[in-house]
Amino acid sequence: MTGLSVREGNIEALMGMAQSNIYAVTAELQKSEYNQFFSQKFKNKQDSFIPFLYFMIRPHAPRSFKIMLQKLTRSIILRHSLNISGRGPHGKARHRITYYPGISEFDLNQTIFNYIQNGNQILRFSDIIGIERRQRKRSIVLILDTSGSMFGKLLLNAALTTSVLTYALSKDFTSIILFNSRALVLKEIKTQNNITRLIDQILETEAVGFTNISAGLKKGLKELNKIKSIRKKIGILITDGDYNRGKNPTLIATKFPKLHVINIPPESQKGISKEIQTRGQHICKRIARAGRGYYIPVKNFSEIPRTLMKLISKI
């Protein structure tokens, strides 16, 4: 049935069988005769099912088949992140400088003031004040929830979000923190970007454990404090907010210069009371308020990368 689904191009049937019997589907798809099927789907950009299939087969597949799907998933993430980020908006600060031939922007008010101060006789090169736009460096730490409550699509979106952030802020200092019961510094703020390595690390991560937001915030704050010369220091927390380990995260949020929160719903809300569902929202709002940042709710995981881009453009 797996072979028939592939030959007929019925991806919905293939994924349905994978959910019902992942062992049988994995045993069939690992055959080399199916490699062309996956590469063709990637080439034709009909590959949205591949990352989800990768996460399903990951614990059971032979290493060679797992690596093949992981490489395809990484390539899909990189392609999507480039489309979303467009190499990213980079904030540029205006600096006043002395005139030189070819400069395209001027501070007219300051130039007139200098001319008046010199007796309104002749406009000299030294009176003309130009404007130069320079890259404004920022220190930004992304803090991602990978706890058991966020199992499923979040790991894929965590990889995509990390890739988007890395492209968009290639000229800034960035750090990536993953947290569940404990926090892991995936990328230190002073290290160079290596997008493929970061994506692979996330793709190999397990969404397990409890939710300790405080641990993630502590690591994030420590990374921000490593850069002394940059004034603009920002934290971005992505979580459902429903913590069950560690101290109240609002206490640590107050120590951030700026802490913005993107609030995502739990993976599954079946059998959960409305009070429990909204608890995480209230906590995220309090964290954002304590961190003097934006509170941005999203309805599903697919909204996260573009929401992150909009947030970056504001800060």
pLDDT in tens, 67-106: 999 999 999 988 888 888 764 444 455 556 776 776 767 7
Structure confidence at residue 270 as a pLDDT band (50, 70, 90): low
CATH 3.40.50.410 residue window(s) in the chain: 139-314
pLDDT for the residue 103? 72
Indicate the range of 45-59, 108-122, 254-268 predicted with least confidence: 108-122
Q: What is the pLDDT of residue 95?
A: 59
* 200-229 mean pLDDT: 88
208 pLDDT exceeds 80?
A: no
**What pLDDT does 88 receive?**
47
Mind listing the pLDDT tens digit for each residue in 235-258?
999 998 888 888 999 999 999 999
What are the distances in angstroms from CA 306 to CA 164, 189, 266, 312? 9, 23, 19, 10
Pick 287 or 202 by higher pLDDT.
287
CA 202, CA 200: separation in Å to the nearest integer? 5
- Residue 68 is predicted with a pLDDT of 92
Helix ranges (DSSP H) in 94-150: 108-117
Rounded mean pLDDT of 134-146?
Answer: 82
State the architecture of 139-314 in CATH terms: 3-Layer(aba) Sandwich (3.40)
- pLDDT (0 to 100) of residue 273: 61
Whether 146 contacts 179, CB under 8 Å: yes
3-state SS class at 78: helix
Do 147 and 180 touch, CB atoms closer than 8 A?
A: yes
pLDDT-above-90 percentage for the chain? 37
Closest CA to 14 of 36, 32, 44, 34: 34
Region 165-180 average pLDDT: 86
